Structure 1
């Protein structure tokens, strides 16, 4: 919930938004100057029209009439030119600002801990990075500068009115507080309404994205009707949030029109009475001028209310974006050691870790892995196997203990160099909507097409890739949807292979692939793990039996360690696991 919801406006937040205009100061000041000139040009023509009526027409002075008309035309051209420049550069400034804010936001999100994404909705983050950004841009293109220009115009109009006829000016000013009060109420009501609108937009974005991503599950379990009903409920809330803003608009603007019409009537009545009482027809021009000037006074006020809505939505969006920008959810990357040539030896020393504070998932585990060894980690779901992988990559920081690689604590390595020496193949493969080649190299300039093809031949998957339409240039579409799960796994394995890691991690990499793909991966495993430290989390006996060491985990503890043969000699957890899970596979 926005803690500033009760405020009509947050100037501190606006100042922070304006700081992003610093690289574009010249444009900012240029747009501000255009706003000032617009207020002057806008007022000039009503004044000139009054002179046309009172001086040129009343005294039948054709020369003066021509001169005044020419001046009015020149003022109109100047006003139009200013308006064009004002509109273009205000929008240009807005787009430039959101470009910079979006870059800052995306760069920050890319450095967040995995824990942040564990608890954040993807749909909401997408809304912040796309929809909310456009709202921030509108602060400049349709909000802030337009409001400033209109306020300046109103001040100039009020000054001119007082100079021309202070009595009629007081009549107009007497009505003004009513409209100002109505505008104030309108702004406060719209602030709360727009907060609700943005919340509902984020909600509907998140819901739609999740259901489209998981459409296979929706259809497999016949959830279409249920999910559609949920969508209708969310969509109804979204509609009601927007209708709330429409309702406020439908009340305010007719009220403003009525107030404006009453004011014009009062001007005509009192102006005519003044003229009749004094016998001076020269005041007719002032009446014409005041009718135009009063419209120029009230119309900006109505527009300010409308533009203030835009500004409010932009401020609400900015507040949400800045909340992410202010989030301190980073892995502390203060290490100065560059992991250039790692041997691959590592050890866990009394490591304790919890994803949620107070709910420990690793309870002081310790083990050593020598360089070039292949270690298999087995255990039931939730035992802590994948947590070890997450900690080794520093996706999370440990609560206590030490993790050493080649004798150096991993916190002392720079994150980039550490992760460049560790390759991970996950069970759930993620591919980008790009070519096969780019998904393998991840557009690393040091990995050429020739290197990718050579690596593919080395592990026996070149023929599969070459058979695709376009070969290495085949676009796999979003999340690799054009490939089977086994083919995606092969691409992921090749991605790890070409990075030439010092430590290779296979996290249940063959648990969901077909027999042919598994054979290819088993062959590749033998090649890539040779003389390289490898960690394999697997459910299949063939991989585990070949490991130099097996780490057996249960409920966040290392309960056994040894080779397959050594562990079967005992009567511990591994033997029970083997008899329950692997014996049938071995005898099949």
Structure 2
């Protein structure tokens, strides 16, 4: 089967990506039921050959039911009335054979539709994951990881469950309702009219309830996303919450969020649960009316209606109303699936990172980087950078210091194009940064953060993540340069030791050395260090410092709030305050100016922070 491609899922690449653009997605709503259903149907039709064969099976099964039902009535009027046991036996054997064929057809239809539903949910999950993999950091700033995981798992599973159940019911129902209606009209138009009187009441009742229950299911899925996000956060931070003895408070917060979710889920299920009893009541009224009308016709000998006709008609009527009731009874799962589908498509419609028209790949950045009057704000009207000018020449080490919130990390986010500027320009080797594809730009930039991230894989593959085509010898060489080789060999399986839970079986310093080895392997020409040694002890810091010096050789390096030894040796120190570059120069020249940097130095270095940095 060819890959299912849905052109309606392609978003418009307009507007700068901001976390506030995605926060609107948290409002509970079901705004476009028709559009959501259409998009699900487009996925489902990717398996149209299976669905078509399933439809043929449904026609066969329904045809057998129609013929068998009419034979029941004919047998009552003819063979039972005449007490013809021989013919009665022949008809029973014939009907038994027909029903075996009908059961086989229904089974094949069920298998085909369930397979189509499973493949549809797999395609949904695949496309959703692909979109999540290409969404900008702004999306994840606005959504917790638990909420994103909930969309990939719970929401897609809800859609899968609804499709698996309703597709079978829908195929059987449409064919059965049409076939039984035709059979009832052929058998007795007056009784068919009596039956149809109550049908609009069923749809009217269901529509009113379903319209009101939609918002409850949307709220239920929203609260489920919050619950998953809270659980993920508490499991990740379980050491911190124990350290500060917050277990009781965390349990109380969880119970509060859980109660909100249970309340929304109860309201959704309780309201949708009214549909089934209401439909049963309407159907019972319809059966009663047909029985009374049929009995009257038999007694008065009107229209050739016999006991067998009434018997067959009631069976037809049951097969006519049951598919409708089955579909309507699943309104709760349908509403839940619609709410889930809207959350899934909402994420799919998120604006992915995209390159400008004409952007080109670059093999390697030489390292000439210039910020020219760069302006940026995460929230409109609240600027973070107010015309920053920074120049880094190839091979230079530029330290960026300043107080918390001054805009230091934002500069790095702009340099890696996690965000785009509001104004001004960033040039790399003379080219506007927008003229370079993100992929090739990031391939030339290596980032070493305070918080390392290691995958649940072997140490070898974690290092190889820096350059996926690197050989084992290159991996070992990078580890040696990063001073990680010795401790790796001391592990039970050396380079084949499997890390779990972000490498929690290693120390913070060891994780950082692996991160540095990964960066060394990448051979990037631009290096960014963001608080790379701030959370390790002095001895480990010295080891990491040595590895960083190896890593920085020949590279244009940006160092944010690093330790004093690196700041002092930087070719240039850029001081940021309030989103503006207030000073630039070497450590000695800035101290001589006795300006902002000097005051930071005096306040933070001479007050018991000998190895800190100005501005932290």
Class of the TM-score when normalised by the shorter of the 2 chains: over 0.9
Q: Which position in structure 2 is the counterpart of 1:125?
A: 148
Q: Which position in structure 1 is the counterpart of 2:12?
A: none
1:346 and 2:346 correspond: no
Q: Is the 8 A contact 2:28 2:219 kept in 1?
A: no
1:336 and 2:359 correspond: yes
1:425 and 2:448 correspond: yes
Out of 426, 436, 454, which is 1:413 matched to? 436
Out of 199, 205, 218, which is 2:228 matched to? 205
Out of 483, 502, 516, which is 1:460 matched to? 483
Q: How does 1:165-180 map to 2 (within 5 A)?
A: 165-180=188-203
Out of 523, 532, 538, which is 2:546 matched to? 523
Distance 1:92 1:496 in 2: 45
Name the SS for the 2:427 alignment partner: strand
1:419 is displaced (CA, Å) by 0.3
Q: Give a deviation string over 1:235-262, Cα, whole Å, max 9, x none.
A: 2222222322443355443343344444
1:134 is displaced (CA, Å) by 1.6
Q: Is the 8 A contact 2:75 2:88 kept in 1?
A: yes
Q: Which position in structure 2 is the counterpart of 1:327?
A: 350
Distance 1:426 1:457 in 2: 20
Q: Is the 8 A contact 1:349 1:401 kept in 2?
A: yes
RMSD: 2.6
In the superposition, relative to structure 1, how do residues 342 and 12 fare at CA in structure 2: closer, same or farther (>3 Å)? Answer: closer
More deviation, 228-237/450-459: 228-237
Out of 87, 105, 127, which is 1:82 matched to? 105
Distance 2:466 2:398 in 1: 31
1:368 is displaced (CA, Å) by 1.6
More deviation, 501-510/85-94: 85-94
Instruction: Tell me how many residue pairs correspond in the alignment.
Output: 585
Q: How does 1:55-134 map to 2 (within 5 A)?
A: 55-134=78-157
1:377 and 2:404 correspond: no
1:367 and 2:390 correspond: yes
Q: Is the 8 A contact 2:564 2:611 kept in 1?
A: no
Q: Is the 8 A contact 1:146 1:307 kept in 2?
A: no
Q: Is the 8 A contact 1:372 1:532 kept in 2?
A: yes
Q: How does 1:464-479 map to 2 (within 5 A)?
A: 464-479=487-502
Q: Could you tell me which runs of 5 or more consecutive residues in structure 1 were left unpaired when the two chains were aligned.
A: none
1:307 and 2:325 correspond: no
1:221 is displaced (CA, Å) by 2.7
1:213 is displaced (CA, Å) by 2.1
Distance 1:429 1:289 in 2: 73
Q: Is the 8 A contact 1:334 1:411 kept in 2?
A: no
Q: Give a deviation string over 1:133-184, Cα, whole Å, max 9, x none.
A: 1222234322245234313312322221222233333333334344343333
1:503 is displaced (CA, Å) by 0.7
Runs in 1 of length 4+ with deviation above 6 angstroms? 279-282
1:451 and 2:474 correspond: yes
Distance 2:300 2:579 in 1: 98
1:382 is displaced (CA, Å) by 1.4
Q: Which position in structure 2 is the counterpart of 1:541?
A: 564
Q: Give a deviation string over 1:475-521, Cα, whole Å, max 9, x none.
A: 22122222222222111111111101101111110000122321221
Q: Could you tell me which runs of 5 or more consecutive residues in structure 2 were left unpaired when the two chains were aligned.
A: 1-26
Q: Give a deviation string over 1:178-199, Cα, whole Å, max 9, x none.
A: 4343333333333233223222
Distance 1:63 1:444 in 2: 82
TM-score normalised by L of structure 1: 0.92
Q: Is the 8 A contact 1:253 1:302 kept in 2?
A: yes
TM-score normalised by L of structure 2: 0.88
1:394 is displaced (CA, Å) by 0.8
In the superposition, relative to structure 1, how do residues 482 and 395 fare at CA in structure 2: closer, same or farther (>3 Å)? Answer: same
More deviation, 248-257/352-361: 248-257
More deviation, 264-273/457-466: 264-273
